[in-house]
Chains A and B, each alone.
Chain A
Amino acid sequence: DQQVKQNSPSLSVQEGRISILNCDYTNSMFDYFLWYKKYPAEGPTFLISISSIKDKNEDGRFTVFLNKSAKHLSLHIVPSQPGDSAVYFCAAKEEGGSEKLVFGKGTKLTVNP
């Protein structure tokens, strides 16, 4: 039973265009959402996060949108750069003291020059 779903295993975009990565979740107790980026042979690195009390968070070229009613979030990268090519994981966490982050399976983004 996947609580966090990234239904697109891969995405290919042209340099300079927008990349949109999507994530759906089923657990209504999730109150914090994060995006991690992972390059081959490296550990995931934190990219951007959003609390459930917000519907948008922006950090430079990266913006995360949260639609609680649809249990959907998306990561927008504008403009996309070749260095953005990586696997992007969506993760979610319930309110409370648990350390458990629930991860999606990831989306491999390729930005073509």
Chain B
Amino acid sequence: DAGVIQSPRHEVTEMGQEVTLRCKPISGHNSLFWYRQTMMRGLELLIYFNNNVPIDDSGMPEDRFSAKMPNASFSTLKIQPSEPRDSAVYFCASSPRTGNDYGYTFGSGTRLTVV
């Protein structure tokens, strides 16, 4: 099992540009989560999907952020336009099923720097 795969590992972009982060969850996992990690705010849940359907996007900062999960093996998080305050490490995580009793498997993250 290759684990949760995120790409790219690092992204440096200029303010105003569109950024797309990608995630491949573990095969068979039904739940997918996008988190953002910063020194100031810690780990914040942005959005999560169950069976490819967005369940809770209340953590998405603003309309500049959008996320999709077109199938069980792929998800994207898009920021358009990007701003310097979006600089953070973005993690994707997956879980075997819907529910509270399973932990998550995290990807290695994408470190985004907006200049």
A and B form one complex: no
List A residues at the B interface (Cβ < 8 Å).
none
- A-binding residues in B (CB < 8 A): none
